[in-house]
Structure 1
């Protein structure tokens, strides 16, 4: 299993959206009410250019876990062989995305790396892959000189909350939501 940085290249991003991002959000929509996907758009056609734009940002990163055991015979460095992401023979097994959030100078807090999404396909859960993905994000936090990792987790996603608790994440805020027409 290798972690590859997702390049801002349309074929790789499209495959990522189809094979990981979309299944992640479909699965999440079954357990978390706020993650229902729009039924009146082609999600892949809408999400692919959005992800390409995000990846063009200097501070945003996505890493994809790739099971290359069947297709690659040699160990490669993380940045090498990004074409494996478009190879239909390689299995995409999970991902983590993260973005640097710089602290304004008026606040006495460190810059943060905000983990946007993390997903591991069900067949690879319990293998330590989720920990590897979080550690990769943490390594990027160090590279970007961020003193903290932060993330949002849905209140009704017990499995995710338990995982983040086990890693030492602490609740510092509660996000509350109300429909604008209810006020």
Structure 2
């Protein structure tokens, strides 16, 4: 059974998250998304510090899916596999725009062994509940254009394309 837990703003669970989920997620993306190449020696300590800063903010949340875990044992002490995660942050609308605040999903990842089980949808439901609690009537996310599996999932659950993100190297113009 998989339990979904909040990632606390503590070093040990943030370190485990970075090692067991964040890096594998980005290695998986690196394999399917051309523009997602990581450096050879990923500085995980820097990611842990970055994540801790986010977790200490009022609006950022991360949820970890843990296989067969106790719901009371601290994440850093669990002898269980981390199998997925989702991160989200409230995107407060500046007063000059006529749109509501929205919840921005930063990343969502499910290990290959748990794909197709409904876990991605369950993780997204945690983010959706947080959006409701925060008064955000919308959820937004970005997805790489060549990540076909993710695009298909997001369309299946009802996300619609509203913008496109484009880049160019500074020497090309």
The separation in 1 between residues aligned to 2:126 and 2:53, in whole angstroms, is 22
Structure 2 unaligned segments of length 5 or more: list them: none
- Post-superposition offset of 1:182: 1.0
In the TM superposition, 1:93-104 aligns within 5 A as 93-104=83-94
Match of 2:18 in 1: 17
Residue deviations 1:36-68 (CA, integer Å, cap 9, x gap): 1112x4421221111111111110110000112
TM-score normalised by length of structure 1: 0.90
- Post-superposition offset of 1:90: 1.2
The separation in 2 between residues aligned to 1:182 and 1:42, in whole angstroms, is 28
4+ long deviations beyond 2 Å: none
Structure 1 unaligned segments of length 5 or more: list them: none
Residue deviations 1:54-109 (CA, integer Å, cap 9, x gap): 1111101100001125xx3xxx4xxxx361x1135111110000010011122111
The separation in 2 between residues aligned to 1:120 and 1:43, in whole angstroms, is 22
C-alpha RMSD over aligned residues? 1.2
State which drifts further: 26-35 or 7-16.
26-35
Match of 1:154 in 2: 144
Aligned residues: 172
TM-score normalised by length of structure 2: 0.95
Residue deviations 1:137-158 (CA, integer Å, cap 9, x gap): 0000001100100000000000
Match of 1:31 in 2: 32
